[in-house]
Each structure stands twice: as C-alpha cells, then as structure tokens.
Amino acid sequence: MLTRKTQPIRSAVRSIWRRTQTLLLVYYAYMLEYRAELLLWVLSGTLPLILMGVWVKASQQGEFGLSPQDFVRYFLAVFLVRQFSVVWVIWEFEREIVEGKLSFRLLQPLDPGWHHLASHFAERFARLPFAILLVGFFFFLYPQAFWLPTIPQLLLTLVATFLAFILRFIMQYTFAMLAFWIERASAIEQFWFLFYLFLSGLIAPLEMFPPLVRQVVEWTPFPYMIHFPASLLVGLPVNLGQSFAIMLGWIAIFFGLNRWLWRRGLKQYSGMGA
Amino acid sequence: MGIINVNQLTKIYPVAVKEPGLKGTLNHFFRRTYRSVTAVREVSFQIEPGEVVGFLGPNGAGKTTTLKMLTGLIHPSGGHIDVAGYTPFRRERDFLQKITLVMGQKQQLIWDLPTLDSLRINAAVYGISERDYRQQVGELIEMLSLQDKLNQPVRKLSLGERMKAELLAALIHRPSVLFLDEPTLGLDVNAQVSVREFLQEYNRRYQATVLLTSHYMADITTLCERVLMIHQGQLIYDGSLNGLLDRFAPCREITVELGEARSPAELQIYGELASVDGRVAHFIVRQEALTRTIARLLAELDVVDMTVTEPPIEEVIGQVFQAGWVS
C-alpha cells in the first residue's frame, strides 16, 4: 500500500530531477560556448571596484563611519554578489515575444520560465572561475584587504545571494511580462535600474544614507539584492530575521504578480512572426 | 467526432494604424488608433485520426493563425476548437504531449550547440525515459538519414539537415497530431523529397494525423488526399484534391493529331477550339462533355494521336486565389 502511494511521488521527483539536471547541463554547455564573451561580462561588472577606489579615497579624508578597509571589503563583496545576481531575462523574453519564439516554448509541457531560470543559474557556474580569479588577483595586489569569513557567515551569504538572485530574477521576469502588451518592456527595466543602482547599495553602502532614508529603503526590495548579502559576507551589522522575511515577502509579491500577468499576457499573445 | 474539430472559429486582431509622415508619426505616438482585422472568419472543419490534410491559401489568408489556434498558442476570438479531446488554449500537459508544431521559417534548436543537446532538453521536458529516448531517436535518425549529424553544432548543418533535425526535435515525444507550417520552405528538391517521404512514413508507421500548409504543390499532391482552402480568413473549399480540380477547373484540354489538316471552321463544331497548328488541334471541353466529345472526334475524324490533360493544379489554385472565388 505504502509503496503504491510512494511510487508516483518517487517517479515525479525523479522526473523533476532529470529535467533540472538536463536543463542545467545543457545551458552550462551553452554558456561555455562564449568564453570571451563570458570574461568580458565578468569584467563589465567591475563597477564596484571602481567605486571602491572613490570611497576609499573619500574615507581617508572624511568621517563616514566605515574605515577604508571596510569600504574595500564591502565593494569586493558587492562585486561578488553582483556577479551571482546578474539577470538579463527581460531582454531574452522580449525577444522571444517580438520574434514569436515563445511559441516553441509554449508548445512544451514545461513553463518557459524554467528555461530562463536554468540558463541564468547555469551561467553562475560558468562565471565562477573568472570571478574567483579576479578576486584572487585583487588580494594579490592588495593583501591587507584579505579576510576570511566564518563558515556560518559564508553559508548565510550563500543563502542570501541565492535569494538575491531569485528576487532580482522574479522582479525582472515580472516586468518582462509587460512585453505582451508593450513590445519594449526592457525600457521599464532601464528605468527601474536607476532605483536599483542607488538603493541597492551598489553605488554606496546603506550606512552612508541618512537614517530616515535608510529606514524607508529597508522596506523596499532593493537593499536585499546587493547590500544585505554583501554586508553578511564582510560582517557588517544586519537584522537577519527581518531582512530574510522582507526578502521572501517581496519574492512572493512579485511571484504572484508574475503569474497573474503571465495568464493575462497569454491571452494577448499573437505569436508574431511565427 | 474527428480528432480535430473546429466550429465557427474566428480570430480578430487589433492592428495599430499609422499614417505616413511626421504628422502621422506624432499622432501615432500621442493618440494611437487601432482597427480590427479579422484573420480567420467562422471556419469549421473536422479531421479524422490518421488523415493527412493540406491547408492551402495565399500569404495572409489565415493559415498560420488557424494553426496557432489549433496548437493553443493563441486564444480564438470566437468559435470552438477541440483537438484530441482537449481545448488547445488551456495547454494542458496531456494535450501538449499529443501534438507538435513545426514551422519551416522558425527554429527551436539551440543554434550554437549540437542537436543532441536540444534533443536531451526535449526528452527531459516531455518526461521521456532514457530507454524510450534512445529507441525513439534511433528510429527517427534512421528514417531521416541523419546519422553522424547530431553531434555537430546546429549552425554547421545545411538547411535541409537542419529542417530534418527540427523535425526530429519536434517528434521526439511521438505526437499523434502534427501541425506543419511550410516544412519544406527553402529546401532544395532532394531535401524536399526526403522530408515528404519521411512525413509519409511517419504517418504510416504511427497513424499520425497531419495538417500541413505548403506553397509547394508537390508537398500537397504527394501527401494529402484532402485539402482545405482558405482565402481572406474564410474556408472556401474542403474536399479531395481531385474534387478541387472539378470544382474550380471544370474544363480539360484535348489535343488531337489528325491524319490530315482541317480548317478551324470544320473543327469548331466539336467544341471550343483553343488553337490549330497544322494537323494538331487543341480543344477546351467541359468535363461533363469530355467522353461525348472524344467519342465524336474518334468516330468522325481521322485521329492519329490524342491526349487529354488536366490543367496543372498550381495554375488552378492560383486562378482561384486571384479571382477570390468564394463558395
């Protein structure tokens, strides 16, 4: 009786595992096809390292609450978190809609979102060696900045970075849904990116914000995409429970919105060019 | 009840209208106007399991829109569709397992990776077991003569090989209803023939139902006994290929070679005389008068040779579309 009940569950789990594994492996192979491009993408994410220089210089001349060393580590952590939370799904999805390529995905019994998620996730692994090399090179040039986070710190950072990626992904994928109505949905992302740039802690740590502004910003999804995981990695004080709760809350909100727009959008879809 | 049942199917698209010039552009930006275009209008038909049906019509007639509605890609504006017992636009898992759509001008394979990688994804997505995957791919490779090609990146394949690989990817889950939109588009004659042969074999082996659009008449004449003809969104013909000729081209041409030359005046009494060239005369005769005319010609004239020809089907269909005949 028990085996008869567990049989379908086991086969469902096996099927999900096989799908996940295949999607990740194939998309990993796909990402590795573009070696030079991958390296250039990693290098294009070095904005935090430039900002690091600016903030270190500034902190040597004024009082900011963080030491030059803190700034170095913070921006290095920002660089790493950003490497693993880069998302481009809106451009891909927009192209699929405009060129009608979504049609092929819709013909298959798997939500197209999984393809995008898998290709993003697989790309993280393709990027990993380059990012580690770059950080290693940085420590070689600037050994006094070197630090070793504790194991719990590292694990929490991993979880927070993964959630940061999911949050950023689901947010952008939700805006991507608007491509069903307006063919240039990426314009919304460009506008939204402005808020992301300033409020996520990418340009300046949240510690630099006036207290009231910081309090407000902490209820938005932005700081959880960069500042929170980066702070965990370098050991800056964070409100762990509240941060994870807000993060999960925003993921849930965007997920709900995403599915709602998806269902409405499909009614709108005309399979252009296909 | 067929495997595909379409009743009063209608699709209306809103299309933004823009006047040329700067004024038109500014108007288009601030006050966008739309007009409704009816791509498919009250189309009804039924297809039985195992049938291969050709779907004919000029560009923009509504063929692809109909296929998109049948596969559940777009929602109909009106009417009812039932494919294999499912309502397509609900896109239920079991429905998607049963159908496929191949589009000659679009590709689903990942361009930079070998076909095998795309096949692996499809196998996982459709939940095909490793054993079934091997067997199915093996069978299809053999039917498509694609040995040694699946390890090459898709971009390195020729157009014909790519189309075959597309077919392989689209059929890996062994669907029973195939929707094919221009599957031989742009292929050379040999590749066209092998795709056709493959489709014939697939239909025979798995009793699959096929609805196929093509601008190459050879696809239709080789594969389909029945055709649906659509023009400006409306179904204007549903029946056999021969019936299409009878309906839209009720005349045949009789060419006779006579023992000695006759004047046109002498020949005109037998039927509409198209031309006379020495001892050879061409008559255009309505089909119902064909037997009678032939009998009379043979009885009354010294006939050395005689041929009866049907007008080429491309020509007939071209004339139908040009005239915009609606039944």
Interface A–B counts its CB contacts (< 8 A) at: 75
Ranges of chain A with pLDDT below 50: 1-2, 274
**What is the mean pLDDT of the segment spanning B297-318?**
83
pLDDT for the residue A99 = 84
Q: B73 and A19: CB-CB below 8 Å?
A: no
pLDDT tens figures, B83-97 = 999 999 999 999 999
Q: Which amino acid is at B84?
A: A
Distance (Å) from the C-alpha of residue B170 to the closest C-alpha of chain A? 9
Residues 142-171 of B with CB under 8 A from A: none
CATH topology for B250-309? Alpha-Beta Plaits (3.30.70)
Residue A164's closest CA among A93, A92, A91, A251? Answer: A251
pLDDT tens figures, B6-21 = 999 999 988 877 778 8
Q: Is A108 on the interface with B (CB under 8 A)?
A: yes
Distance (Å) from the C-alpha of residue A264 to the closest C-alpha of chain B? 11
Q: How confident is the model at residue B248 (pLDDT cuts 50, 70, 90)?
A: confident
User: Could you say which of B64, B74, B100 has the minimum Cβ distance to residue A107?
Assistant: B100
**Which residue, among A24, A35, A104, would best test binding to B if mutated, counting the most B CBs under 10 Å from its CB?**
A104
pLDDT tens figures, A167-191 = 999 999 999 999 998 878 889 999 9
Name the token pair of A267.
């009614």
Q: A107 and B103: CB-CB below 8 Å?
A: no
Distance (Å) from the C-alpha of residue A148 to the closest C-alpha of chain B? 40
* pTM, two decimal places: 0.83
User: Could you say which of A22, A269, A274 has the minimum Cβ distance to residue B124?
Assistant: A22
Q: Which residues contact A83 (CB under 8 A, 6 or more apart)?
A: A42, A45, A124, A127, A131
Q: B121 and A23: CB-CB below 8 Å?
A: yes
Q: Is B13 on the interface with A (CB under 8 A)?
A: yes
Domain segments of chain A as ranges: 11-139+152-268
Consecutive H or E run containing B273: strand B272-277
Domain segments of chain B as ranges: 4-10+41-245, 250-309
Please work out, in degrees rounded to the nearest 5, the angle formed at the alpha carbon of residue A97 by the alpha carbons of A91 and A100: 130
d(CA A109, CA B97): 7
Q: A26 and B121: CB-CB below 8 Å?
A: yes
The CATH number of B4-10+41-245, from 3.10.580.10, 3.40.50.10800, 3.40.50.300, 3.40.50.150, is: 3.40.50.300
Q: A108 and B126: CB-CB below 8 Å?
A: yes
Q: A15 and B127: CB-CB below 8 Å?
A: yes
The proportion of chain B whose per-residue pLDDT surpasses 70, expressed as a percent, equals 98
Residues in chain A closer than 8 A to B97 (CB atoms): 109
| Side-chain half-sphere exposure of B308, counting CA atoms within 13 A | 12
Q: A108 and B123: CB-CB below 8 Å?
A: no
CB B221 within 8 A of CB B240: no
User: Could you say which of B64, B74, B113 has the minimum Cβ distance to residue A269?
Assistant: B74
Write the DSSP string, A167-189. Answer: HHHHHHHHHHGGGGTSS-THHHH
CB A71 within 8 A of CB A49: no
Q: How confident is the model at residue B5 (pLDDT cuts 50, 70, 90)?
A: very high
pLDDT tens figures, B105-147 = 788 888 889 999 999 999 999 989 889 999 999 989 888 888 8
List the single residue in B with minimal CA-CA distance to A34. B112
Q: A108 and B125: CB-CB below 8 Å?
A: yes
User: Could you say which of B71, B74, B127 has the minimum Cβ distance to residue A107?
Assistant: B71
**What is the mean pLDDT of the segment spanning B245-268?**
85
Q: How confident is the model at residue B310 (pLDDT cuts 50, 70, 90)?
A: confident
Does ipTM come in above 0.90? no
